[in-house]
Amino acid sequence: MLMPQEVFEERVRKLQKSLVENGIECAIIRTQSDFKYLVGAKWLRPSLLVPAEGSPIALIVKGEEDGFLERVKLKKLEVVTYVEGGDLMGKVSALVRSLGSKRVGMVFGVERDSYVLFYEMFKRANRSVEVVDISRILVEMRAIKESFELDAISRASDISSRVLEKALSSVSEGVSETDIAAEAYYLAYKLGSEEPHVYVNAGPHPRVHSEPSREVRVRKNTFVTVVVGSDFSGYYANTSASTFIGSKTEEVNNALKCVREVYEVAKDLTKPGTKFTQVISHLDTVYAKYGLIDKRLVGYVHGVGLQVEEYPITTIVPAHRAAEPRRGMVLALVHSPLVMRGYGTLKLEDTFIVAEDGLRPLTRAWELME
């Protein structure tokens, strides 16, 4: 799925306009998702310098530039090569000095490639330069999805739903978490996902962020929770569901009823004009009704796009809970699981587009939940 070159040129113009408005001479982009958002190509160890005026400059390992230029969508772009980390820092610092920059923007975020080390090295090498956080600028740019992005997320949603269904069908007593994940990853790649993420938690010991383990096997009378994030053209959809192995007790049925009701309440109340904190309060009332409020995590929703989990991330950043959904956002809910000792985790999560009057579902975990 190709986005027109003009899309990326306009994104760069918007970023440059915001830099000027905030008195920032240039931005240094090291986060992979922001890099892809601006130039249209996923690249490991990304480095992009965006001056407030003029063409952006991509810093690429020497020898990789031809392949990079074939894949990049932003054509008004200069390329500078480097041979190792010290060379990269030297060239970035030289470019900043050539621009006369005294105020430089970087993204301070939770993304895995935020590179605190690069930040500290840059400060030591450029002591007269003020480094400021431009996360909010890019968050605002990326929060409302364009039609091309929504098309890609819809394609990713179909992949994620099919992968989740396949993974859940492979669950049986005695199989390992990696057995389940292998089925999911195989199908995800076959369907065109380039960087899928699959998490599996087979009880009885809950793990909220559960990268699959070959040592953990499915036991009787426990939950198995599968989380799938599949991408298409770099854009993700996130979906999760749980299945119970064994005979359901009253406690298990109570938890399942709670999760379903929380899902419905969250889906009905999450809409423009309602803050996430208000929805959280209603959800806590539901958890309390079922006697499970002490087993829930706070925060229920996160954004989806170039990352499986992006702004607003209400389980990680408390300040994001004060935001509210806007038309054109893509959100995953209910993100936070029930953490049940002796059983594992219990979770039901789908990806939705925010419309004027509420949410439009893209994935179908609800149909797969027993």
Angle of the 5-21 helix axis to the 135-143 helix axis, nearest 10: 140
**Total Cβ atoms within 10 A of residue 298:** 12
Phi-psi region of 340 (alpha: psi -120 to 50; beta: other; left: phi over 0): beta
Task: Enter the DSSP assignment of 296.
Answer: B
Asked if pLDDT for residue 230 goes beyond 60, the answer is yes
Give the rounded percent of residues in the chain with a pLDDT score beyond 90. 88
Total residues belonging to the chain:
370
Band (13; pLDDT cuts 50, 70, 90): very high
Band (3; pLDDT cuts 50, 70, 90): confident
What integer pLDDT is reported at residue 115 of this predicted model? 65
Q: Is 224 helix (H, G, I), strand (E, B) or coil?
A: strand
Closest CA to 52 of 81, 80, 22, 72: 22
- Give the HSE-up count for residue 44: Cα atoms under 13 Å, Cβ half-sphere: 2
- Give the HSE-up count for residue 304: Cα atoms under 13 Å, Cβ half-sphere: 34
What integer pLDDT is reported at residue 252 of this predicted model? 96
pTM summary value: 0.92
Domain boundaries, the chain: 5-142, 144-368
Band (1; pLDDT cuts 50, 70, 90): low
Band (338; pLDDT cuts 50, 70, 90): very high
Same fold, 5-142 and 144-368: no
Band (370; pLDDT cuts 50, 70, 90): low
Give the CATH fold of the 144-368 domain. Answer: Creatine Amidinohydrolase (3.90.230)
Strands 338-340 and 130-133: unpaired
User: pLDDT tens digits for 165-213?
Assistant: 999 999 999 999 999 999 999 999 999 999 999 999 998 999 988 899 9
Angle of the 32-39 helix axis to the 135-143 helix axis, nearest 10: 60
Tell me how many degrees the CA angle 259-262-264 measures, rounded to the nearest 5.
Answer: 110
**Total Cβ atoms within 10 A of residue 257:** 13
- CATH number given to 5-142: 3.40.350.10
Task: Enter the DSSP assignment of 145.
Answer: P
Task: Compute the radius of gyration of the chain from its Cα atoms.
Answer: 22
User: pLDDT tens digits for 98-136?
Assistant: 999 999 999 987 776 556 778 888 889 999 999 999 999
